[in-house]
Amino acid sequence: MTAPADLAGFDVVPLGASDLQELQPILDEESRAWAEELDWDYRGSVEVLRPFVQSGSVTGYVLRADGHTVGFAYAVPEPPKCLIGDLYVLRAYRSESAETLLLEAVLRDVFCRPWLRRVECQLMLLERPLERRLPFQQYARRYPRSLMAIDPAQALDLPVHSEAARYRLEHWSSAYQFEAASVIATAYRNHVDAEVNDQYRTRSGALRFLTNLLVYSGCGIFCDSASYLAFDSSDRLVGLCLVSLVRPDVGHITQVSVIPEVQGRGLGYELIRRSLVAVKQLGCRKVTLTVTNANSRARELYTRMGFTVQRRFAAYVWER
């Protein structure tokens, strides 16, 4: 296939053939972009990348032009699937075509490995995420999503839900990690978000998801003092709201789950309200969360509570 005219002079080279120092200017610009556009301190995520690259445990490519490295993308295999962890091209060289060149290289590499059947990614800074043509279109699905934000001071005016007394809310405790994984897997059964992230489909997958939230900084630093568990009158865990800090003064709700049999009774609202109040008490000026647009029930709840859309992006899944 002939490369588009705007890609003349670009080369794609395996990440393993590059020195990590070559990526530093790209990582620095990307961190600034996350801070300026998303109010997110991305430096922790950059640090997570370093050992993966140094150990050669990721598959990835760099984009070169004018004798310089100007972009990169990498994916982490978790057979039978693979996660595209990042893709970024310097602003001076960025175009939809340049990004697609990297994305296609990673996907081609993944699909050469028969034990990898599925690829997932959510790339917040990608150009035209909802309109762009995806490589390997025959395997691709696109899920429009939104990053929503609120000033947590607004939570101080939100009333306690009339049904809140039915439940006992406690701060997060790792003693309930296995039960929390069960709540997540149960809440997402036959749900669109289980199509986006297959970890939601099983308790073991949800447990891996939880471990990543608690241990790694890709979604911020976990904040147990603003994260809540909800128990019913029989002391059964029935819901949770988990929060991380993506900057010292910005919180991010990483997970809200309520088991189906108690959904629609105000528990999700009350969990979020409590977390917003707690985050405000920590001195935060903003709280964000992400939602799949097809999840209209959640979107409507967040909007009623005062969240507004800050950015639109997409989750992509390729499955063969």
Report pLDDT for 21.
84
User: Does residue 309 register a pLDDT over 60?
Assistant: yes
Q: Do domains 5-135 and 148-313 have the same CATH topology?
A: yes
Domain 148-313 annotated CATH 3.40.630.30: yes
Q: With beta carbons less than 8 A apart as the criterion, state whether 196 and 23 touch.
A: no
Q: pTM for this structure?
A: 0.93
pLDDT, position 5: 47
Torsion angle of the four alpha carbons 280, 286, 292, 295, in this order, in degrees rounded to the nearest 10:
40
**Residue 112, beta-bridge partner list:** none
- Please give the Cα distance from 259 to 41 (Å, whole number): 32
Q: Which helix (H) or strand (E) holds 83?
A: strand 81-89
> Where do we find the tokens 């020195």?
19
Per-residue pLDDT band at 94 (split at 50, 70, 90): very high
Q: HSE (CB half, 13 Å, CA atoms) of 104?
A: 15
Mode of pairing for the β-strands spanning 81-89 and 118-122? parallel
Q: pLDDT > 70: what percent of the chain?
A: 97
Which fold, 5-135? Aminopeptidase (3.40.630)
Every domain of the chain and the residues it spans: 5-135, 148-313
Q: Give strand pairing partners of 82.
A: 77, 119
- Nearest alpha-carbon partner for 288 in 154, 150, 152: 150
Between the alpha carbon of residue 309 and those of residues 31, 32, 91, 146, 299, the distances in Å are: 22, 21, 24, 6, 10
Tens digits of per-residue pLDDT, 59-68? 899 999 999 9
Q: Give me the residue label for tokens 């310089």.
A: 68
Task: Using alpha carbons, select from 318, 255, 292 the residue that is nearest to residue 120.
Answer: 318
**In this structure, which amino acid lies at residue 220?**
G
- Give per-residue pLDDT as tens, 166-184: 999 999 999 999 999 999 9
